[in-house]
A and B are shown apart, each in its own frame.
Chain A
Amino acid sequence: MATIEQKGMYAKFPRSGKNVSFTHYCPGCGHGIINKLIAEACAEMGLQDNTIFVDPVGCGVFTYYYWDASHISAAHGRASAAATGACRARPDAVTIAYQGDGDLGAIGFNNAFQAASRGEKFGCIFVNNSLYGMTGGQMAPTTLAGETTTTSPFGRDTSLTGYPLHVCEVFNQLKAPVYIARVSVADTRRIMQAKQAIRKVFEIQRDKKGYALLEIIAPCPTNFKMDAQKAAEFCINEIEKEFPLGVFRDDTTKAPEESSPVEPSTSPLLAPKTVPLFASCAELFAEKDAIEPAIDDNTFAERRFKFAGYGGQGILSLGLTIAEAARLEKRHTLWFPSYGPEQRGGSANCSVVVSGTPIGSPTVEHPDVLVCMNQPAYERFVGDVREGGIVIVDETVPVKVDPPAGVKLVVWPAIRMAEEFGVPKAANTMMLAALKKLNCTGLSGESLETALVASFKKKPALGEKNRELLKKAEATA
């Protein structure tokens, strides 16, 4: 005689490592019923090939023994984060996270909440049995006031542990979820309602409508320390009083604009921009006038530069111009800026190394060339300059400290010239004129000029303007 198979569940559980046909759930446990409803819904809707189940840590950890579909078994509390990864990786699949009170309500609450807030395209089935089952009946965020558990042995004291956490009600404050409901599996009528709600969660995922949260109240006779019937009655008479059943939100039948309670902003400052699309990395990173790689040349004496001043004086871009000129001449080069809180204090500095051979240490301990646009920078770095090196300071800097012996000091009117030429922002270009005129970079004037123009790639007119300013400064100073 033919047998009727349980839909969506394996007949026996080979993934358990034992060829058994009974689940690990205790008699009267709500998980067993919920597992069957989920497996049935998945199978009846023809989604077994398309579903990725993300399993929790807790009593639900072994759902992969039972459900005939692919599974990812996540870390404790992280099923919603893992489901985010899975549904983003496989947008065509149906992703379902299965979580309990500890997993979702406590350790992983923020992951679940933020996933809901982002409107991730997965369904989250949250089993609330008012305590931690797997670890031995401890208090959960969902434990009722006065409820006895192994970590609230005198009953949950709300003056010390707060009140039961209402997950559906909290998530219902979010804009993105399309479906939020609470059901129960405490009796036959409730089980039939739960079945419909579970199907709904699968439908939402199949149709790519958005995030769905389904909370299911479930009895835990073992940790309630009651028989199955009394445990079910406890769910109906006590848990449901605190956690009323019902549909908190169902936006699945509404058009997207109807379900959106907040008007989108009309401010041009908040207008989203179109993402330009590229077919390949090569296309995305293609560069006009790409520069050839550096070549080794032992005859070129390595030069180390330090540029320092206030933020806004163009110190960092002056350094970048030197590095660009070095690249044009196929020299090895590197550039690095002061960063982090250092740059927020109003000062800025950067280091540049130009070399004929691969560069070892990137730090510029002893610059050959130091350019200072303000007094603190001068006083901080002047003592480090290498013998035979050069210090260029803006004429506004009071030189109260002498440079070390054998170091040449040049006072240059960068800031004044920039103001006289009517382009106060171009003080760094004025400094470049000094570097060019003093011939202290080891790089040709032509490369410096080309690099300067290239630094205004996005505003070509400014590039030409700066080229003129550079020439004018060289002729003037």
Chain B
Amino acid sequence: MTKFVKGNEAVVMGALYAGCELYFGYPITPASEIAHGAAKWFPMLGRTFVQAECETASVNMMFGAAGAGKLSMTATSGPGFSLMQEGLSYLAGAELPSVVVNINRAGPGLGNVYPEQSDYTPAVKGGGHGSYQTFTLAPASAQEMFDLTIKAFEMSAKWRTPAVVYADGLQGQMMETVTLPDEDPAIPDFSDWAAQGEAKTRENLVKSIYLDAAQQAEFNRHLQEKYAAMAADAMGEAYLADDAELLIVGYGISGRIARTTAETLRKEGIKAGVFRPITLNPFPREQLASVAKGRKIMTIELDAGQFADDVRLNLAKAGLGAEAAGVKMVNRMGGEVVSVDEAVAAAKEMM
């Protein structure tokens, strides 16, 4: 079954199909349609919607709900995402599954409501305090807003760390066709660790505090081992990359601009291909390296180069130091979007 919906609506549908039982949120443009959809559809399925008093409350309500063993979510945009960083650190520190959707708007400060990808660092590297990581996914279409929201809940439950669905204002507003599954999900059981107010969970304790340094050190080693293992679930997509001389790398909306750019360049005789990370943490390093070796590399991004730096880092860690050193970037900030024309021109300059 298909529906023609906004990316923001697809997120809510995905959450419902993933078995998310509670939504906590505070409205913010351009993410508000997620709250609107949740306010309508969660109660219609007998699930819970709470309009929180602020983003700090939203994320801590999720902490309580997750601590009590239920899947929950919130959605926000840059300023709200900043307010949630402390809570994300606590969720990671208590190893609680939950999903935060960030529909990136332009910043810093109040900025504006148009698309940017400038929250890359907090969305991908763990923006709060302490050495923690989120499982971060970057959808590029309404279908992926749906599919990757489901994936976010799966990965969050599997790895017991918060997941971030990281998209931008344009994707939130854009309508596309989404194909929905026929089956409803099974609701996961967390009674082995959650505080559910039941006899079987009486001994359970949800916390992120280890007063003893040795205990905290041991716990942190456990977290880091877990994060390293997450690499097995990294996802990326290569397009026209097999014979490419130029590899264009971009995620989310920039990945789509990269696709049209590569197609345009091919029409003009330049062998261009695309690599689009689908998970940003874990970063699909091996997948990127397998198509990047010996290629010229250009990133497309809506930030100041945070993504390009991460591409360089990952190439270097994969042993592709020369490719890393040669990475060029075409970017826009402030709510403007990189045009195919300028990406094509930038690519031609490299060739």
Q: A340 — which chain B residues lie within 8 A by C-beta?
A: 29-30, 112-114, 169
Bitwise, A75-99 to B at CB < 8 A (1) or not (0) is 1001001111111111011110000
Nearest B residue (CB) for A85: B64
Q: Is the CB–CB distance between A89 and B60 below 8 Å?
A: no
Q: Does B43 sit within 8 A of A, measured CB to CB?
A: yes
* Number of chain A residues close to chain B: CB under 8 A: 74
Q: Is the CB–CB distance between B53 and A362 below 8 Å?
A: no
Option from A54, A282, A292, A335 in Cβ contact (under 8 Å) with B174: A335
Bitwise, B4-37 to A at CB < 8 A (1) or not (0) is 1000000001001100011010000110000000
Q: Is the CB–CB distance between B176 and A84 below 8 Å?
A: no
Q: Is the CB–CB distance between B184 and A323 below 8 Å?
A: no
Q: Is the CB–CB distance between B183 and A282 below 8 Å?
A: yes
Q: Is the CB–CB distance between A114 and B53 below 8 Å?
A: yes
Q: B3 — which chain A residues lie within 8 A by C-beta?
A: 285, 287, 290
Q: Is the CB–CB distance between B197 and A82 below 8 Å?
A: no
What are 14 A-B pairs with beta-carbon distances under 8 A?
A: A71-B195, A71-B207, A74-B60, A85-B61, A85-B63, A85-B64, A88-B64, A89-B64, A90-B68, A90-B196, A93-B68, A95-B197, A277-B44, A281-B17
Q: A339 — which chain B residues lie within 8 A by C-beta?
A: 29-30, 113, 169, 173
Option from B1, B63, B169, B201 in Cβ contact (under 8 Å) with A70: B201
Q: Is the CB–CB distance between B197 and A90 below 8 Å?
A: yes
Q: How far is the CA of A277 from the CA of B57 in the complex (A)?
A: 28
| Interface-facing stretch out of A44-52, A373-381, A436-444 | A44-52
* Number of chain B residues close to chain A: CB under 8 A: 87
Q: Is the CB–CB distance between A290 and B1 below 8 Å?
A: yes
Q: Is the CB–CB distance between A48 and B197 below 8 Å?
A: no
Q: How far is the CA of A365 from the CA of B211 in the complex (A)?
A: 57
Nearest B residue (CB) for A338: B173
Q: Is the CB–CB distance between B197 and A293 below 8 Å?
A: no
The secondary-structure label for the interface of chain A is mixed
Q: Does B341 sit within 8 A of A, measured CB to CB?
A: yes
Q: Is the CB–CB distance between A282 and B60 below 8 Å?
A: no
Counting from the closest, the 10 A-B pairs by CB-CB distance are: A93-B197, A85-B64, A360-B260, A82-B64, A70-B195, A360-B259, A81-B60, A73-B207, A85-B65, A72-B67
Q: B60 — which chain A residues lie within 8 A by C-beta?
A: 74-75, 78, 81-82, 85, 111
Q: Does B277 sit within 8 A of A, measured CB to CB?
A: no
Q: Is the CB–CB distance between A334 and B198 below 8 Å?
A: no
A sample of 5 more A-B contacts (CB under 8 A), given A290-B3, A320-B175, A339-B29, is A72-B206, A74-B60, A339-B169, A359-B256, A365-B340
Q: Is the CB–CB distance between A64 and B207 below 8 Å?
A: yes
Q: B259 — which chain A residues lie within 8 A by C-beta?
A: 358, 360-361
Chain B residues 138-186 with CB under 8 Å of chain A are 142, 169-170, 173-177, 179-185
Q: Tell me the minimal C-beta distance from B90 to chain A in angstroms.
A: 5
Q: Tell me the minimal C-beta distance from A170 to chain B in angstroms.
A: 15
Bitwise, B37-77 to A at CB < 8 A (1) or not (0) is 00001011110101011101100111111111110100000
Q: How far is the CA of A48 from the CA of B203 in the complex (A)?
A: 10
Q: How far is the CA of A110 from the CA of B2 in the complex (A)?
A: 43
Q: Does B205 sit within 8 A of A, measured CB to CB?
A: yes
Q: How far is the CA of A275 from the CA of B169 in the complex (A)?
A: 30
Q: Is the CB–CB distance between B56 and A111 below 8 Å?
A: yes
Q: Is the CB–CB distance between A324 and B4 below 8 Å?
A: yes
Option from B90, B184, B211 in Cβ contact (under 8 Å) with A280: B184
Q: Is the CB–CB distance between B53 and A86 below 8 Å?
A: no
Q: Is the CB–CB distance between A93 and B205 below 8 Å?
A: no
Q: Tell me the minimal C-beta distance from A397 to chain B in angstroms.
A: 26
Q: Does A337 sit within 8 A of B, measured CB to CB?
A: yes
Q: A284 — which chain B residues lie within 8 A by C-beta?
A: 16, 41, 44-45
Q: Is the CB–CB distance between A111 and B57 below 8 Å?
A: yes
Q: Does A61 sit within 8 A of B, measured CB to CB?
A: yes
Q: Does B339 sit within 8 A of A, measured CB to CB?
A: yes
- The listed residue with most B CB atoms (<10 A of its CB), out of A94, A290, A362, is A362
Option from A84, A89, A286 in Cβ contact (under 8 Å) with B70: A89
